[in-house]
Structure 1
Amino acid sequence: MNKFSHIDLRVDDWEKVSLFYEKLLHALGFTISYHSERWKVFAAQGELPSVPYFAITEDRSHTPNGNLIGFWAEDREEVDRIAALVRDNGGTITDGPRLFPISPTYYAVYFQDPCGNAYEMVHRLN
């Protein structure tokens, strides 16, 4: 059983990141929205609270740190598609997409949202 429930994420400016997250999270399967004034919630298909979700709130004092959120890709092509989506929607590629020496099949892209929060999209066979 996958124990993942949700991520509560802070951004310093929702307007600056809204298009980025709408595109990215939809592409990752978080296609149902439950937005309120304070929280922007993107959930997987199904009913809360039994599905994973990604909740974002604006905190003007937020500064990015060394945390990184990683997502699995089904194949290298998905890694490349996410990299293009990031570039096209205001994100920053920090490394890749390429093979990394973590394992012989570790193909990933590392990137940041427009506020500097860090992510990884990875495909690997072992």
Structure 2
Amino acid sequence: MIGYVTIGAKDVEASLPFFDAVFGAMGRERSFFQGGWAGYGAKGSDADCYICPPFDGQDARPGNGIMIAFLAGSKAEVDAAHAAALAAGGADEGAPGPRPADSTSFYGAYFRDPTGNKLCVFAKT
């Protein structure tokens, strides 16, 4: 089980509009931005996803083969989060749809954040 996730950002403050848009499309919100860290979670709940500079002080960079997948509540949330990601400067890595193409239980979309981290938003159908 995952307790929380941290996503490294080259510029946390510049990344906030992207993450505000993506998580907002999923009914989540930023609960704080303090000390160079931003926390996101379900409305009224503790943060479970943090956007931050790397602890080692080196530049943030995406990991090869690493992807974080966020569970959405519906196909509509997946569609909205993908559209929000692209509108907020993200790069498309796979339009919303079933994976594999004939799946009746997984609906996902893929994109990269401004730092280049690969993210997925999916719904169980």
Q: TM-score, normalised by structure 2?
A: 0.79
* Counterpart check, 1:119 vs 2:114: no
Note closer, same or farther for the CA distance 1:27–1:77 as it changes in structure 2 (3 Å cut).
Answer: closer
Q: Quote the Cα distance in structure 2 between the aligned partners of 1:110 and 1:76.
A: 13
* Counterpart check, 1:53 vs 2:48: yes
Note closer, same or farther for the CA distance 1:42–1:73 as it changes in structure 2 (3 Å cut).
Answer: closer
Residue 102 of structure 1: how far off its partner (Å): 7.4
* Counterpart check, 1:16 vs 2:11: no
Q: Quote the Cα distance in structure 1 between the aligned partners of 2:42 and 2:93.
A: 27
Residue 45 of structure 1: how far off its partner (Å): 3.4
**Structure 2 stretches of 5 or more lacking a match?**
none
Map residues 18-97 of structure 1 onto 2, 5 A cutoff.
18-46=16-44, 51-59=46-54, 61-65=59-63, 66-97=65-96
Figure out how many residues of one structure are paired with residues of the other and give that number. Answer: 120
- Give the alignment's Cα RMSD to 1 decimal: 2.2
Q: TM-score, normalised by structure 1?
A: 0.79
CA deviation vs aligned residue, 1:47-104 (integer Å, no higher than 9, x gap)? 5xxx442111124512101211112223322221111111111111111212222762
Runs of 4+ in structure 1 deviating by more than 4 angstroms, as ranges, are: none
Residue 115 of structure 1: how far off its partner (Å): 0.7
- Amino acid of the structure 2 residue aligned with 1:71: F
Residue 5 of structure 1: how far off its partner (Å): 2.5
Q: Give 3-state SS (helix, strand or coil) of 1:120's partner.
A: strand
Q: Give 3-state SS (helix, strand or coil) of 2:52's partner.
A: strand
Q: Quote the Cα distance in structure 1 between the aligned partners of 2:30 and 2:12.
A: 18
CA contact (8 A) 1:31 1:42 kept: yes
**Quick one: percent identity of the two aligned structures?**
26
CA contact (8 A) 1:7 1:54 kept: yes
